[in-house]
Structure 1
Amino acid sequence: MNNLDLGFSSEEEVRPHSRRLARRRRKERRRRRRARIAATVAFLVVVVILGGTVWGGYQVYQKLTVVPDYKGRGTGRVMVQVQEQESLGSVGMKLEKRGVVKSAKAFEEAANENPDSYKVQPGHYQLRKRMAAKLALNRLLDPSAKVQWQITIPEGMRASKVGELLAKKTDIPLSKFHAAAKQPDKLGLPPSANDKIEGYLFPATYLFPPNATATSILRTMVQRYKQEELNLELKEQAKKRGLTIHQVVTLASLLEAEGKEKDFGKVSRVVYNRVDEGMKLQFDSTVTYALGRNHLKVTYEDLKVKSPYNTYKYKGLPPGPIDSPGKAALKAALNPTPGNWLYFVTTNPKTGETKFTDDPQEFQRFKNEYKRNS
């Protein structure tokens, strides 16, 4: 060995060592790469699992916390009745049961959010199925959604005609009203009515629910009369006049049949004056009532009709009202206009002009004027 060999490897010795080192490095890189891939895959698996868990939890949370509710205006028609003093909670349960809202809770929340919810009134309402709770509440707050019969009974209408009008405006047969009128104990008639409805079906505009019956409708009208009787203090005022309530209502019905409202006071005075003088009233309206007619034209033969309502035949007031008097006529019956009149004639049927007098000859002239204008 020479000095040149000391501390040095030959070329053959260096090459195998380098190759082994390179192989180890490549293996290490492949191992680290596989480890990174495995870690990434594991991370993604965890993310997916956690994401699924979170999403599932969110869905459960939604189901547990979000109140079920429909969307939109709904379809079809549903009739729902809100009872007197019924709570909104009860209304919500009723709406859910009828398929209007998806849940009573949704309706309750809508009511809590709406400051006007307390204004929901009792009655029957036309709603839809599968409505958003908010829209269902708005519908209940809309007066136009109320289902009801609106019927106006005019002053001076006879009970027979009232029945016909009610039957026409409702789906209740006329026979039902006839039957109800024959059961005065169920109508709450005042003692002064003597079990007869004529004169005690107060003229006014009424709103009746669709489940109303003939009896309930007539009873409502009688109750309205009784309220007006109290308001006008008819009992006390009639007593001051030496009359009964029934006589006041009867007199008022004559005013409705014989004159216009502007003349009620004068016609009332004519009645008082003729009764005081012992004269017959001789009102055509009482004769046509006795005959069951609706027009005022009568013949001499008609004047002979045997009926206590025939004021050409009998003195004083007829035995009862001949129509339904309104408030103005009732007031005039108790407060006649001061005057000495004994006669009156509507001289111009077209304008309704009516002239009053206490002179028989002038009365005849008025009648001739009427004939010329007829």
Structure 2
Amino acid sequence: MELRYESNPDPGRWRHRRKEGSGRTVVAVVMVLLLVGVLGGGAWYGYQRFSGMFLAADYDGPGTGEVVVEVKKGDSASAIAETLHKAGVVKSPEAFVSAAKNNTDSKDIQVGSYKVRKEMKASAALLMLLDLKNKAGNRVTIPEGWTHMQVFEALSKASGIPVADFDKAAEDPQALGVPAVWFKRNDGKKVDKKNIEGFLYPATYEIPEKATAEDILKPIIKNFNAEMDKLKFVETVNSKLKSQNISPYEALVAASIAQVEALLDEDMGPVARVLYNRAYNGDFPCGCLQLDSTVNYWLRLTGAGAKSSDKLRTDELHNPDNPYRYNVPGMAIGPISNPGEVALKGAMDPPKSNFYFFVTIDDKGTTAYGVTNDDHEDNKKIACKNGIPICG
């Protein structure tokens, strides 16, 4: 390609000049080389001077010491980068932003305070923010099957907030975020709308500094809602258990009982089916659950403490003041624990069976099932032989 200049309207003419013009050509070449040298030196100087503007400055090592930084709600990668830079964690905000762009997991950084190190490589700082083990402050783990009383004691210990404050905040579960759909039954029994049992989803939660009881309980309820949405619990119950006219709340009650009664994951569903067979089929003699676990729940509520099956007295099993008593007809009036994912899945879509009895028969947690009371008595003999404390 030939270039046209204003001073040379015919770009082809210079190639046919006479030799006497060659001296000027050499001079021009020398001038060009000198110019390139000057420009090259300037470019190198400019690179040295301004490279920090184009390449993000970053530390090389894993860092030293410890510093606590806070990721706030709504923080972007840039906002987090500024926080880290001001705290002396990363060498430049740009380095962290670049690391975040190169790691798709960066979107999973959670709100909270984190323990990180000073002067660390940006990509390493990002990994520390993604690891929940580095979260600062108190955390509480709610295991499957805990009652709200156990949960509140743990939350109180971690936060310093009195149990009474949690009890007070829990009196209005809907204000904490429990949807109204969870306070409906199809069996004619009234739902206690002040009962938070069953809604404290088992997981690990961070306890924010200077939080109130409400501040701590709301995220737990929010997580319950999210997990139930993920499981499609309401939709599944309304579909799979429609023939027995079981509401989501009644299924939640069943899940809470299965969580306590079944020791192995594989038995959560079968045990829930036994509960439905007893409470809703209409051909079980009393139409009741006849469970020690519901009786023990009441004993815990009243401060008496739970007992093993062989220690429960007849007056405790059949106390007319106990709404969870042994022979009360139908499904229990409310949850007796806070069930986890496996129990919830088992209760929302249990395998079909004609079993009306179940009992743990060994120390491995094996559950045996029966159709008739004779089946059940035979299974109890096996349990007693194996040393399971059900024989009075």
Please classify the TM superposition score into its range, dividing by the shorter chain length.
0.5 to 0.7
Verify the 8 A CA contact 1:253 1:325 in the aligned structure 2.
yes
Give the CA deviation at 1:199. 0.7
**Are 2:72 and 1:83 equivalent residues in the alignment?**
yes
Q: CA RMSD in A?
A: 3.7
Contact 1:281 1:311 in 2 (8 A): no
Question: Contact 2:273–2:351 (CA<8 Å) still a contact in 1?
Answer: yes
Any conservation in 2 of the 1:88–1:108 contact (CA below 8 Å)?
A: no
CA 126–357 in structure 1, closer or farther in 2 if over 3 Å, else same = closer
CA contact (8 A) 1:186 1:215 kept: no
CA shift, 1:322, in A, is 0.5
Question: Which among 249, 274, 277 is matched to residue 273 of structure 1?
Answer: 277
Q: In structure 2, do the counterparts of structure 1 residues 330 and 137 end up closer, same or farther at CA, with 3 Å as the change threshold?
A: closer
Q: Which residue of 2 aligns with 1:188?
A: 177
Match of 2:92 in 1: 107
Instruction: State the identity as a percent.
Output: 31
Q: Does 1:339 align with 2:353?
A: yes
SS in 2 for 1:238: helix
Cross-structure match for 1:25? none
* Residue 139 of structure 1 pairs with residue 125 of structure 2: yes
Matched position secondary structure for 1:280: coil
Partner of 2:151: 162
1:285-337 residue CA offsets vs partner (Å, 9 max, x unmatched): 11111111344432212113234533423111111111112222223223333
TM-score, length of structure 1 as denominator length: 0.67
Which runs of 5 or more structure 1 residues have no equivalent in the other structure?
Answer: 1-60
Match of 2:298 among 287, 290, 308: 290
Q: Measure the CA separation in 1 of the matches of 2:276 and 2:314.
A: 25
Q: Structure 1 CA distance, aligned partners of 2:290 and 2:115?
A: 53
1:171 maps to 2:154? no
- Kept in 2, the 8 Å contact 1:311–1:317? The answer is no
2:17 alignment counterpart: none
Helix, strand or coil for the counterpart of 1:365?
Answer: helix
How far apart, in 2, do the equivalents of 1:89 and 1:254 lie? 48
Q: Provide the rounded CA distance (Å) in 2 between the counterparts of 1:68 and 1:370.
A: 68
Name the SS for the 1:243 alignment partner.
Answer: coil
Aligned to 2:314, what secondary structure does the other structure show? coil
CA pair 317-147 structure 1, distance change in 2 beyond 3 A: same
> Are 1:214 and 2:213 an aligned pair?
yes
Q: Name the aligned partner's letter for residue 356 of structure 1.
A: Y
Query: What does residue range 195-206 of structure 1 map to in structure 2 within 5 Å?
Result: 195-203=194-202, 205-206=203-204
Is the aligned partner of 1:327 residue 2:316? no
- Once the two structures are TM-superposed, the CA of residue 221 in structure 1 deviates from its matched residue by 2.1
Q: What is the Cα deviation at residue 262 of structure 1?
A: 1.8
Q: Secondary structure at the match of 1:301?
A: helix
Q: Distance in 2 between matches of 1:227 and 1:88?
A: 25
Report SS of the residue matched to 2:368: strand
Contact 2:236 2:349 in 1 (8 A): no
CA pair 316-296 structure 1, distance change in 2 beyond 3 A: farther
Instruction: Provide the C-alpha distance between the structure 1 equivalents of 2:269 and 2:61, rounded to a whole number of angstroms.
Output: 60
CA–CA separation in structure 1 for the residues paired with 2:326 and 2:98: 70
Q: Specify whether residues 264 and 110 from structure 1 end up closer, same or farther in structure 2 by C-alpha distance, changes over 3 A only.
A: closer
Q: Which amino acid aligns with 1:353?
A: T
Deviates more, 1:241-250 or 1:141-150: 141-150
Q: How does 1:240-255 map to 2 (within 5 A)?
A: 240=242, 241-255=244-258
**Letter in structure 2 aligned against 1:172:** G
Residue 124 (str. 1) matches residue 113 (str. 2): yes
Match of 2:224 in 1: 225
Distance 2:62 2:377 in 1: 71
Structure index of larger Rg: 1
Answer yes or no: is the 8 Å Cα contact 1:308–1:319 preserved in 2: no
Other-structure match for 1:365: 378
Query: 1:107–1:87: structure 2 CA closer, same or farther, 3 Å change rule?
Result: farther
Whether the 8 Å contact between 2:68 and 2:113 is mirrored in structure 1 is yes
User: What is the rounded CA distance, in whole Å, between the counterparts of 1:295 and 1:116 in structure 2?
Assistant: 56
1:49 maps to what in 2? Answer: none
Give the conservation status (yes or no) of the 8 Å contact 1:252–1:329: yes
Kept in 1, the 8 Å contact 2:57–2:95? The answer is no
Q: TM-score, normalised on structure 2?
A: 0.65
Number of residue equivalences: 304
TM-aligned CA deviation for residue 69 of structure 1: 11
**Cα pair 1:254 1:321 within 8 Å, conserved:** yes
Distance 2:215 2:248 in 1: 24
